[in-house]
Amino acid sequence: MAQRVLLIVSGGIAAYKALELVRLLRGRDIAVRAVMTEAAGQFVTPLSLGVLTEDHVYGALFDLKDEREIGHIQLSRDADLIVVAPASADILAKMAAGIADDLATTLLLATDKPVLAVPAMNVRMWHHKATQRNLAQLREDGIHVMEPAVGAMACNEWGKGRLPEPVGILAEIERLLAEGPGAAEPHPLLTDTTRTINAPDLSEHNLFGRHVLVTAGPTHEPIDPVRYIANRSSGRQGFAIAAAAARVGARVTLVAGPVTLPTPPGVTRVDVETAREMAAAVEQALPADVAIMVAAVADWRATDEAAQKLKKDGSGKPAPLALTENPDILATLGQHPQRPTLLIGFAAETETIIDHAQAKRARKGADWIVANDVSGNVMGGDSNAIHLVTADGTETWPDMPKTAVAMRLIERIADALAGR
Ligand code: C5P
């Protein structure tokens, strides 16, 4: 059966590109049903969208004829994926706040399907703190958000905020559709929000007011002014853990290596570049009740950072690169006079995962090791399958979104602190 996309077109000059997107989707045999916000009607017509989708175009919430034919709940659940393109600053704000004051936003609140938002707006609107806060919230809620393109704006300004080219949006849609219904992050209404609804009094939570220290991302170790040693860590798992801890009322310090992720709401972030800077920032943040060391810290750094860019000397021999081992932050905390009550490390392995994780737990003096197989595309990907190695043994968790791993780990930590 053909896959189905529900395309929500919000207002903005980029709305015309939604027509090209529909054409590309139809060319790939993907069925498209379109919903327009009132503002979108200023930029494209229902007629042109209807011709291209070969379907009725939906608009007003209280259109009795539409309600008789297809209810808005059904409309939101008939599709395999909901795509908001272009997503204006206004609709992103409404999505982040859970406002449902027209058909488009009602569908977004009622759906149980994955949602992809493709923002497009003026550069200043994009960089505004309110928009960035809303985007962080949406990502935290499991909405997939594409980065806008950089370039000239319709309003004669230049910068980030342009709608990505429709072929790029098509590629992202096909990627999400290929992941299937289980793999894409489920809509927040079905996961984390329910938890919050069930446990509104956060002061009862065992992590409320506790200090949780998290490291995340890679480190960059300079070789010369333009080159560095790095790794593929995206920082997503660490950021999701910091966000989950903040959500249950913990005081969170997130020491982040060089990543482009937004700071989760309620988290104090310290940006660092090298392993030594990360070690110093962690030391500075002590004492902590819980430390979760998720960062993929570079094991080695260049012994001497060259002051000038290294040059080829014509001999065909590469410049020598001497390496020195970096401080092990996790192991240092394991021995520290202010050792956190619960010290958790991560272990990215490509073979004999559990054996290595058990050995690492003992060697580094950690209480728990969260081990994962990084031979696939875990680094940078959306989901993670982990083994939790503790003094009591090993638990294997099924593959799930990194946000779900984070929430489950935070609940386990809260239980551990309560002695359960
Ligand atoms: O030894 P390995 O790098 O596999 O250990 C991974 C764990 O140790 C992770 O929790 C990582 O954050 C931490 N680590 C660290 N400092 C290092 C190397 C690793 O804190 N220099």
Nearest CA to ligand 1 atom 17: 328
CB 290 within 8 A of CB 368: no
Looking at the CA of residue 295, tell me the nearest atom of ligand 1: 12
3-class secondary structure, 252: strand
Confidence of residue 318 (pLDDT cuts 50, 70, 90): confident
The CATH architecture to which 4-190 belongs is: 3-Layer(aba) Sandwich (3.40)
Q: Distance from the CA of 264 to the center of ligand 1, in angstroms?
A: 23
Same fold, 4-190 and 195-304+317-417: yes
Count of other CB atoms within 10 angstroms of residue 256: 24
Return the closest-CA partner of residue 279 out of 295, 263, 290, 260: 295
Domain boundaries, the chain: 4-190, 195-304+317-417
Running DSSP on this structure, what letter comes out for residue 12? S
Give yes or no for a contact between 85 and 7, defined as CB atoms under 8 angstroms apart: yes
pLDDT at 197: 29
pLDDT tens digits for 213-250?
A: 999 999 999 999 999 999 999 999 999 999 999 878 88
| 3 state SS of 277 | helix
Q: Given this model, what pLDDT does residue 264 score?
A: 84
Work out the average pLDDT over 80-98.
97
Report the interhelical angle of 166-183 vs 16-27 (nearest 10°).
60
Res 183: pLDDT? 39
pLDDT for residue 193 is more than 60: no
Ligand 1 binding pocket mutation candidate from 277, 328, 342, 343 (most atoms within 8 A of CB): 328
User: What whole-number distance in Å separates Cα of residue 275 and Cα of residue 57?
Assistant: 54
**What residues contact residue 145 under an 8 Å CB cut-off, 6+ apart?**
116, 117, 119, 135, 138, 139
Distance (Å, rounded) from C-alpha 16 to C-alpha 170? Answer: 15
pTM for the model stands at 0.56
pLDDT for 180 equals: 66
What average pLDDT does range 298-316 have in this prediction?
Answer: 92
The fold of 195-304+317-417 is: Rossmann fold (3.40.50)
pLDDT tens readout for residues 17-34 = 999 999 989 988 899 999
CA distance 303 to 50: 63
Give, for ligand 1, the residue of 214, 254, 290, 293 to mutate: max count of ligand atoms closer than 8 Å to Cβ.
293
